[in-house]
Structure 1
Amino acid sequence: MLSMSARHVFVAASLSLALAACSGADGGSAAAEAPPVIKERHDNFEAIGDAFKAVRGELEKDTPDFALITAKANDINARAMKIEGHFPAGTSTEDGFKTEALPAIWEKPEEFKAAQQKLIDESAKLASVAEGGDKAAVSAQAMAMGGACKGCHDKFRLDDEK
């Protein structure tokens, strides 16, 4: 017969093994793993931000590289076209995932699509204007494209810096 302290150790060990088995072989938590699309959309937006930063950097120079600006604007445009597909149902904070995407994306899909289209349009215009090599015109269009970004961020992205 087991002593009382030996029984406690045995029960504790049994409970520990049962809990470990429930959490999965990797010892993970009960929380669902984020779908790959959440990382894809994050990476896409990071790349858009990096490309826009490169555009702004060129425009700070006396003689910007308009070919680079055109390439970055085209990259932003191609990435903007992917945005809508990066927000399937079930990938919001309300679904338990860590994301800066506000529920308004799913609550107001037509507004979100319009915001995406504005970025597509403004980035295409930036690429076109950059081919002309007029720094003032390119700067003005870069501001317009930045406004498209800001407009979407204001309505559809969590501002964690407030």
Structure 2
Amino acid sequence: MARIPSVFIAISACALLTACGGGAEEEAAAPAGDAPAEIAERQDNFEEIGDSFKAIREQLETDSPDMALIQTSAADINERLKRLPNLFPEGTSMEAGYDTEALATIWEDPQGFDEAIQNAIAASADLMAAAETGDPEAVGGQVGNLGLNGCKACHDKYRVDDD
């Protein structure tokens, strides 16, 4: 079975992990109270998405990827992305003083944010379909697609810039 070029995987993985976690900290106002549970839930959700991407990347770097593991990880990413609309209640941005990288732009542009989430969900469905084919190259292509057109596209506008 052909291996996916490591450079492609590394670039895709970097884009995805950058999009899904970590970043610069900025000054924020003092929060009005205890952080809503949704903030911890969404942060945990993104951590798990990152773990699933890592599992896929590690498999794609082998000579004989475990397609069952890739399929499970792709399905996990899809299910977790579907949770996102319920994990961003209004007022849970970093501007509200919470320890988060979510920008108030999310609630200022709810239609755009919803569209970005739906695009990520659609790209993750394409990743699941690619995983079902058993073709590592197809999976690699869809990992890149989700990273750039799903995660990164959303985070470029709705998350603190980590540069």
| Number of residue-to-residue matches in the alignment | 133
The corresponding residue for 2:159 is: 157
Deviation at residue 159 of structure 1 after TM alignment: 2.7
Structure 1, residues 94-139: CA drift from partner, whole Å, max 9, x if none? 2221210011111111111111111111111111111111111111
Deviation at residue 30 of structure 1 after TM alignment: 9.0
Structure 1, residues 6-43: CA drift from partner, whole Å, max 9, x if none? xxxxxxxxxxxxxxxxxxxxxxx996211111101110
For residues 31 and 111 of structure 2, what CA distance do their matches in structure 1 show?
34
1:36 counterpart letter in structure 2? A
The corresponding residue for 2:58 is: 57
Structure 1, residues 34-78: CA drift from partner, whole Å, max 9, x if none? 111110111011111111111111111111111111111110111
Q: Closer, same or farther in 2 for the Cα pair 1:45/1:30, shift >3 Å?
A: closer
Q: Is the 8 A contact 2:74 2:127 kept in 1?
A: yes
Match runs of 1:53-132 below 5 Å: 53-132=54-133
For CA contacts below 8 A with separation 6 or more, give which structure has more relative contact order. Answer: 2
For residues 119 and 63 of structure 2, what CA distance do their matches in structure 1 show?
29
For residues 100 and 90 of structure 1, what CA distance do their matches in structure 2 show?
13
2:113 counterpart letter in structure 1? F
Query: Match of 2:35, SS?
Result: coil
2:159 counterpart letter in structure 1? R
Of structures 1 and 2, the larger Rg is shown by 1
Match runs of 1:131-142 below 5 Å: 131-142=132-143
Give the unaligned 5+ runs of structure 2: 1-29
Q: Is the 8 A contact 2:60 2:140 kept in 1?
A: yes
Deviation at residue 85 of structure 1 after TM alignment: 0.7
Query: Match of 2:90, SS?
Result: coil
Deviates more, 1:29-38 or 1:118-127: 29-38
Give the unaligned 5+ runs of structure 1: 1-28
Q: Is the 8 A contact 2:31 2:96 kept in 1?
A: no
For residues 85 and 139 of structure 1, what CA distance do their matches in structure 2 show?
29
1:81 counterpart letter in structure 2? K
For residues 96 and 84 of structure 1, what CA distance do their matches in structure 2 show?
21
- Percentage of matched positions with identical amino acids: 52
The corresponding residue for 2:12 is: none
